[in-house]
Amino acid sequence: MKFIKVGVIGVGNMGSSHILQLDKGEISGAVLGAVCDGDEERLNWVDQQTNNSIQYFQDVDQFFNEANIDAVIIATPHYSHPELAMKAFSKGLHVLVEKPAGVYTKNVLEMNKAANESGKVFSIMYNQRTNPLYQKVRELIQSGELGEIKRTNWIVTNWYRSQSYYNSSEWRATWKGEGGGVLLNQAPHQLDLWQWTTGLMPKKVHAFCSTGKYHDIEVEDDVTAYVEYENGATGVFITSTGEAPGTNRFEITGDRGKIVIEDDQMTFYRLTRSEREFNRTYKGGFGEPECWKIDIPISGENIGHKGIIQNWTDSILNDTPLLAPGEEGIKGLEISNAIYLSSWLKDAVELPINADLFYEKLQEKINQSSFKKENVSNVTLNVQGTH
């Protein structure tokens, strides 16, 4: 059987999970070949938890020059994703990068260019694309069952995080270390799904971000964004890490009805005729199109992170189409960058955004920061049960 040797850079919350999956043989066609992390204690942890022969590196350049691997999973803090990916491509390695693709679109564009020129398989850890629920809503929309989209609303506040989560690492929830908060760490999944399922990218964003509203952090933990689309549709995106219990409700309204996703269930309120056609022809004054409430059956398993790693491996070995091509990581990032920029400028912004202006404003946030994080524990957290 053919197989690839995979290296993992970063033994944090996600990297440690990927390492164990590879070491236990949970990814068909892939074996763990090397691990890189600047923290010797974390490398010792890997050595104690794994059973296979693995190369260990503390220096990234040494890792890329000496590791006997075919591919690499990048699970480091956000800023480093594009730089490390480009180094990997230059060494002829296939790349799977954790979300988000980066912090700002300017260098993610460079990463995508390097990926395209390398000819290597490039994927991003948008693991919620493996969820049959979102695959089904995408199928319904793309097939035309919903008609032309009029409105999208997503409230996703079930990303609750305690202060201890933010204190688990020095870099987390800082402009310099992470580059943002809930938009860049938790909500990238939904920002990606928002455009992936609907096939729509906003053309204008007007947003409001509250920094440190519920936690002792300097980045946003509460966001409300209003968007406009090219076809005249509008949308609202709300997210927070400070609400318990939280909500995760996604509504998409179209000319032929409305789809609602909540509590892992999908309901299609399907009109028997086009609303636009009904509006033109109905003569009875009060009235509306007949609507059928349909509970859409969902089959299949949400295989999450493991599913993306397996799909990436299968693409390398068998040319299987990628579920989450790495180049598409810029789409959700473009939306989050626009939300930040709108909030900072206190005005609506057009997409694509001015990448240089965003970078300039981000550097201002970093340079003007006087935030000091207290009680940092520097622990690796168990990510089981999270997205």
Q: What DSSP letter does each residue of 46-103 carry, written as one string?
A: HHHH--S--EEES-HHHHHHH---SEEEE-S-GGGHHHHHHHHHHTT-EEEEPSSS-S
pTM comes to: 0.94
Q: Is residue 194 part of a domain?
A: yes
Residues 98, 13 share a domain: yes
| Res 387 pLDDT > 70 | no
Phi first, then psi: give them for residue 89, nearest 5 degrees.
-60, -40
Q: Could you identify the residue written with the tokens 């999973």?
A: 73
Residues 19 and 281: their CA atoms lie apart, in Å, by: 61
Range of the domain at 257: 129-300+332-367
Residues 232, 138 share a domain: yes
Q: Is residue 384 part of a domain?
A: no
| Res 194 pLDDT > 90 | yes
372 exposure class (CB count in 10 Å sphere: 0-12, 13-18, 19+) = exposed
Residues 308, 257 share a domain: no
Tokens of 83: 């730089």
Q: Is residue 228 part of a domain?
A: yes
Query: CATH number, domain at 176?
Result: 3.30.360.10
CA 25 to chain centre: 25
| Res 378 pLDDT > 80 | no
Query: What does the pLDDT average to over 46-74?
Result: 97
Provide the β-strand partners of residue 224: 208, 238
Residues 211, 100 share a domain: no
Residues 267, 317 share a domain: no
Residues 154, 276 share a domain: yes
Average pLDDT, the chain: 95
Residues 105 and 98: their CA atoms lie apart, in Å, by: 16
DSSP 351-363: SS--HHHHHHHHH
Q: Is residue 355 part of a domain?
A: yes
| Res 382 pLDDT > 60 | no
Q: Running DSSP on this structure, what letter comes out for residue 230?
A: T
Query: What does the pLDDT average to over 158-176?
Result: 94
Q: Is residue 380 part of a domain?
A: no
pLDDT category at 171 given cuts 50, 70, 90 is: confident
- C-alpha closest to that of 378 among 37, 87, 18, 102: 37
Residues 176 and 306: their CA atoms lie apart, in Å, by: 30
| Res 386 pLDDT > 60 | no
Query: What does the pLDDT average to over 132-136?
Result: 98
Residues 257, 202 share a domain: yes
Are 2 and 65 within 8 A, CB to CB?
no
Q: 220-248: per-residue pLDDT in tens?
A: 999 999 999 999 999 999 999 999 999 99
Residues 147 and 243: their CA atoms lie apart, in Å, by: 34
* CA-angle at 353, arms to 187 and 259, nearest 5°: 45
Q: Is residue 374 part of a domain?
A: no
Residues 204, 348 share a domain: yes
Q: Is residue 382 part of a domain?
A: no
Query: What does the pLDDT average to over 93-114?
Result: 97
Q: In the sheet that 257-262 helps form, which strands lie side by side, from edge to edge?
A: 291-296, 265-271, 257-262, 248-254, 149-156, 234-240, 220-229, 202-211, 349-350
| Res 383 pLDDT > 60 | no
What's the one-letter identity of residue 377? S
Query: What does the pLDDT average to over 126-131?
Result: 97
Q: In the sheet that 30-36 helps form, which strands lie side by side, from edge to edge?
A: 55-57, 30-36, 4-9, 71-74, 94-97, 122-124
**In the prediction, which pLDDT does 374 show?**
77
Residues 84 and 333: their CA atoms lie apart, in Å, by: 18
pLDDT category at 372 given cuts 50, 70, 90 is: confident
Residue 92 to residues 64, 86, 114, 357, Cα–Cα distance (Å): 10, 10, 11, 33
**In the prediction, which pLDDT does 20 show?**
97
Q: Where are the beta strands (DSSP E) in the chain?
A: 4-9, 30-36, 55-57, 71-74, 94-97, 122-124, 149-156, 202-211, 220-229, 234-240, 248-254, 257-262, 265-271, 291-296, 349-350
88-102, 154-168, 215-229, 368-382: segment of lowest average pLDDT = 368-382
Residues 241, 276 share a domain: yes
If one counts the domains in the chain, the total is 2
Residues 109, 30 share a domain: yes
Q: 262-316: per-residue pLDDT in tens?
A: 999 999 999 999 999 999 999 999 999 999 999 999 999 999 999 999 999 999 9
Residues 267, 202 share a domain: yes
Q: 28-50: per-residue pLDDT in tens?
A: 999 999 999 999 999 999 999 99
CA 278 to chain centre: 39
Query: What does the pLDDT average to over 205-217?
Result: 98
**More confidently predicted of 92 and 382:** 92
Residue 238 to residues 65, 159, 171, Cα–Cα distance (Å): 44, 11, 25
Query: CATH number, domain at 29?
Result: 3.40.50.720
Q: Is residue 15 part of a domain?
A: yes
Residue 168 to residues 133, 199, 219, 386, Cα–Cα distance (Å): 32, 37, 16, 16
Phi first, then psi: give them for residue 114, nearest 5 degrees.
-65, -40
Write down how long the chain is.
387
pLDDT category at 385 given cuts 50, 70, 90 is: low
| Res 218 pLDDT > 70 | yes
Residues 158, 71 share a domain: no
